[in-house]
Amino acid sequence: MLFGKADYHEIKAPLSGKVIALADLDDPIFSGKVVGDGIALIPSDGEAVSPISGEVSFIAPTLHTYGIRGYDGVEVLVHLGLNTVKLNGKGFKALVKKGQTVEAGAPLCQMDLEMIRSEGYDPTTPVVITSNTIDMIRRLTFNNGFCVAGKTACMKYALVKK
């Protein structure tokens, strides 16, 4: 079986919203896949959840970026909005701490979409498997359309066989 049920792992959408390709972002770091490979979500609400089960490995001091390292070692980065680092934490409320264990679908953060837009920032959220763990992946597929936070897989991957 090349890519059957037993082979793949799901990355749940961390936000409800429309999936778009990283290449469609007006951000060379994400569109150029410098940080890693994945998708982006145009969020319909600001309730962010963990896309995978594992440990919170990173929280930006500005609360706009979260890394979760899965039990299989794959790390997923959720970057809430584009250039939102410039908000210095305004509009974001962390619901987890670094080192905390989370299950897929557990609350990560709240972001105030209305405030972020009113400040002139794009809340489109890249969701990527980080460049330091992408070599663990032998196959990565993407969902398209609309995803529901914590329920719909936005990506699926198979690990390199050892």
Cβ–Cβ under 8 Å, residues 39 and 20: yes
Give the residue from 101, 92, 110 showing the smallest Cα distance to 149. 110
Q: What is the pTM of this model?
A: 0.93
pLDDT along the chain (162 residues), means of 10: 65 98 93 94 97 98 97 97 96 98 98 96 97 91 94 95 77
Domain ranges of the chain: 5-159
Q: What is the pLDDT of residue 1?
A: 40
Q: What is the pLDDT of residue 161?
A: 83
CA 129/CA 50 separation, integer angstroms = 13
CA 108/CA 137 separation, integer angstroms = 24
Q: What is the pLDDT of residue 7?
A: 81
Positions annotated as catalytic residues are: 79
**Topology of 5-159 in CATH?**
Glucose Permease (Domain IIA) (2.70.70)
